[in-house]
């Protein structure tokens, strides 16, 4: 079987930055073991698989180690592939997923804007593993799908060398580390670590912003936000907090296209 594959860098306007994702459209779902094997062979943070359903597409996401219920950068990459290659006349697409319908719209200026579920964190006592993971007691800790540790400064987030063994003991998918930004035009910065999902550090994590956006919108008193994920590759996100959703927008850069054989 020959399967088309595109690799797209998400949340960036140039290759070799942002977060790379593989996108594989299928005629029908393959066995889960095959999907996981393809994702493991691709060895990227995420591989997205698409199957046509009516006027939209069903989407599933796999890390090299497991299936996840929500992934932002691979959804952005999938929208890029739909708009550029699979259905070039479209400007909107809705993906059916484990986390509900995910709408993506093409905007002027090359932005792709995703509507994602809002997942505010709740304040929680700081587990020892969180303090060990970030090497200090954070100013604040919140729990949603992931733990989120709030640090004082952008420099602390950029220079962080986390204890990944401690991170791996935390419940959930991983840990978000965030702080207010000092970079001009940016509201906050973050990084994301998920060794338990086979991703020591994720370059740019759209789904983490389902929790980051409500927190920073409330703290800064503004609904529209600009953010940087300050991993080595780095990426920029334009964000909006809404009553029942968050909008996460970014650009994409296509790196390669080809076929795989299974």
Any idea which residues carry the catalytic annotation?
Answer: 46
SS (H, E, C) 99-147: CEEEEEEECHHHCEEEEEECCCCEECCCCHHHHHHHCCCCCEEEECCCE
What SS3 class is residue 176?
A: strand
Structure tokens at 179: 């702080």
Structure tokens at 38: 């393809």
Structure tokens at 145: 């799908």
**How far is residue 225's CA from residue 220's CA, in Å, rounded to a whole number?**
9
Angle subtended at Cα 65 by Cα 64 and Cα 71, rounded to the nearest 5 degrees: 70
């Amino acid at each position: 079987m020959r399967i088309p594959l595109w690799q797209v860098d998400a949340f960036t306007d140039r290759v070799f930055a942002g977060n790379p994702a593989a996108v594989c459209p299928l005629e029908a779902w393959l066995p889960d073991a095959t999907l996981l094997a393809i994702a493991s062979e691709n060895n990227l943070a995420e591989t997205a698989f698409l199957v046509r359903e009516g006027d939209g597409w069903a989407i599933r996401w796999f890390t090299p180690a497991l299936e996840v219920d929500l992934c932002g950068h691979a959804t952005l990459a999938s929208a890029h592939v739909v708009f550029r290659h699979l259905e070039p006349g479209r400007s909107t697409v809705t993906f059916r997923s484990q986390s509900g319908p995910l709408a993506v719209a093409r905007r002027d200026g090359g932005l792709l804007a995703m509507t994602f579920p809002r997942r505010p964190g709740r304040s929680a006592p700081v587990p020892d593993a969180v303090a060990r993971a970030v090497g200090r007691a954070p100013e604040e800790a919140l729990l949603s799908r992931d733990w989120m540790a709030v640090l004082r400064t952008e420099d602390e987030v950029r220079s962080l060398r986390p204890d990944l063994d401690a991170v791996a003991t935390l419940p959930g998918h991983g840990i978000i580390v965030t702080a207010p930004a000092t970079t001009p035009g940016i509201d906050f910065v973050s990084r994301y670590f998920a060794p338990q999902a086979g991703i020591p550090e994720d370059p740019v994590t759209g789904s983490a912003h389902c929790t980051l956006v409500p927190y920073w919108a409330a703290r800064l008193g503004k609904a529209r936000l600009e953010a940087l994920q300050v991993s080595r590759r780095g990426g920029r996100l334009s964000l909006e907090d809404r009553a029942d959703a968050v909008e996460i927008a970014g650009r994409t850069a296509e790196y390669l296209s080809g076929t795989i054989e299974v």
